[in-house]
């Protein structure tokens, strides 16, 4: 699937500080889990334990993604629709969702 051009910024679009903090918290958790996977490999830990840690890291990233989707809907998509670019917003949103569920 080819990458479409992003919608132009309308007004003041941003990620609020409290949401940034929540996303960073989940990214920090994922980073720690990935580091843990590296250690587990070095320690020759059992496959099941490593796979469990990989699943935990993926879930932390999914949680960060969910927060960003919410922000996208509340800020970017809402402002785009209000600016009369409904179809562009729908197309962009579907493209983003398709990328997330691959």
Mark 32-70 as b/e (b = at least 16 C-beta within 10 Å). Answer: ebeebbeebeeeeeeeeebeebeebbeebbebbeebbee
Does the pLDDT of residue 10 top 80, yes or no? no
Does the pLDDT of residue 60 top 50, yes or no? yes
Note the pLDDT of residue 13: 47
Average pLDDT of span 4-14: 59
pLDDT band at 12 (very low <50, low <70, confident <90, very high): low
Please state, in angstroms and rounded to a whole number, the distance separating the CA atoms of residues 8 and 54.
Answer: 36
Of 12-16, 51-55, 71-75, which one has max mean pLDDT? 51-55
Sign of CA dihedral 13, 19, 21, 23: negative
pLDDT band at 14 (very low <50, low <70, confident <90, very high): confident
Sign of CA dihedral 70, 71, 73, 78: positive
Give me 64's structure tokens. 């960060």
Q: Which CATH class is domain 17-100?
A: mainly alpha
Please state, in angstroms and rounded to a whole number, the distance separating the CA atoms of residues 31 and 13.
Answer: 27
Give me 10's structure tokens. 């309308």
């Amino acid at each position: 699937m080819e990458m479409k051009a992003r919608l132009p910024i309308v007004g003041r679009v941003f990620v609020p500080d409290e949401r940034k903090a929540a996303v960073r918290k989940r990214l920090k958790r994922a980073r720690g889990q990935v580091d843990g996977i590296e250690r587990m490999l070095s320690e020759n830990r059992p496959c099941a334990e490593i796979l469990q840690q990989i699943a935990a890291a993926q879930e932390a990233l999914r949680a960060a993604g969910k927060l960003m989707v919410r922000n996208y809907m509340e800020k970017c998509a809402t402002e785009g629709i209000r600016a009369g670019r409904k179809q562009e917003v729908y197309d962009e949103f579907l493209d983003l969702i398709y990328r997330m569920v691959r």
